[in-house]
Structure 1
């Protein structure tokens, strides 16, 4: 199995359950429905990637990017402000590499593969945040190395595509990051 073959999209609920399990093993306080069920794809527009170790076949890493929570909320409330850009943005919700597989470039492979898939979907802005309970110094370096603009600690995410992507009442993360995805 080559590195390119090691990454695949989780398109079934069973595949997504494996990703959910990896996230639960990696992070504390993860909701049991963090990875959307397939039946909700029309609402969340998720891209769920899996990285299986070529040598062992084990799930070594995963990434989840979806429409932003604020955009979904506004769509559900029938507020049309986000409709024009609904499919032109994506928020990196979670990315994890199992501890025994870290330091092998898997996170970078997941970022590149996710960006390619988002580009294919017509996404133009990709963003996310890192919470203070994570290894923020390492994450700041990681995202900057992969072409994201990394905001200084405590600085809000700027308006992107003329909209605020920070839900009201959201606890302030350690930092935000974002990038423009150029057409291929």
Structure 2
């Protein structure tokens, strides 16, 4: 089983690259952002709770995120592997993910860090917002999300670096070139 974490700031290209990786490696994509948006769109109890948290530009508490993620993994027992997009965002989440996977005889094989400058991130999200209309891409919320990434999420990398699982890939350039570089990093840990 191949389990990957795709890591990078908002707008780094995680969604774009995930779609290509899913097809190539036959993985199940688990995006916490997509899960949250799905619950919000379906107006579930969880969706109502998450909606306000996201609207404020904050991270959803670990307990909610982990519960949703575990449910998603359990709903895909025939998967050949998973790509975790937007998770883990904190060291406690990474520890909880590792504990959950170990309990199921699995582990994270590799972490791909998409390295993108803050200026590039702002440009990409401004363009994405024009197309998607995603409420979480407005300028004020963008700044909060970027700040969350650089003040909290970035601290997950040393956790995985200590395990020798991080591959840093330049996230600026042609989509296909970035994809090939990601595939090279993944093939090295398979």
Given the two structures, how large is their TM-score scaled by the length of structure 1? 0.28
Higher relative contact order (CA 8 A, sep 6+): 2
Q: Greater strand percent: which structure?
A: 1
Q: Greater helix percent: which structure?
A: 2
Given the two structures, how large is their TM-score scaled by the length of structure 2? 0.28
